[in-house]
Amino acid sequence: MPIAKLTVEISIPHAQSIKDRRQVLRSVKDKLRHGFNVSVAELDDAALWNRATLGMVAISSSSSYLSGQMQELDDALHRLTNTLGAEIVDSYVETLE
């Protein structure tokens, strides 16, 4: 079964504390979990308040479905982060067969 992983680096320029960072990340994670039924986790420590790395993982019997889902997820992330005053610095998808 194929597994797809989307890794995203986010910049949160307005974050002045760990609380600001958590607020943005919690909103992003909750909306992605409910909207796309994927697993979402923070992949870094909270050493920098204005940066974060998130990982999203999905599994399916169809690799073409996963590819489309990861593209939709990436598009939604760009819209969502813009709404929250953050921006995507880098994103990449890995697929394991």
For 4-14, what is each residue's pLDDT tens digit?
999 999 999 99
CB 87 within 8 A of CB 28: no
Residues 95, 26: Cα–Cα separation, whole Å: 25
* Boundaries of domain holding 30: 3-96
Q: How many domains does the chain have?
A: 1
Count Cβ atoms within 10 A of the Cβ of residue 7 and give its class: 0-12 exposed, 13-18 middle, 19 or more buried: middle
- Tens-place pLDDT, residues 63-79: 899 999 999 999 999 99
Q: What is the CA radius of gyration of the chain?
A: 13
What pTM was estimated for this model as a whole?
0.87
- Tens-place pLDDT, residues 41-64: 999 877 778 899 999 999 999 889
Q: Which tokens belong to 92?
A: 């990449």
- pLDDT greater than 90 at residue 97: no
- pLDDT greater than 90 at residue 1: no
DSSP symbol at 47: S
CA 11 to chain centre: 12
* CATH number of the CATH domain containing 61: 3.30.70.1120
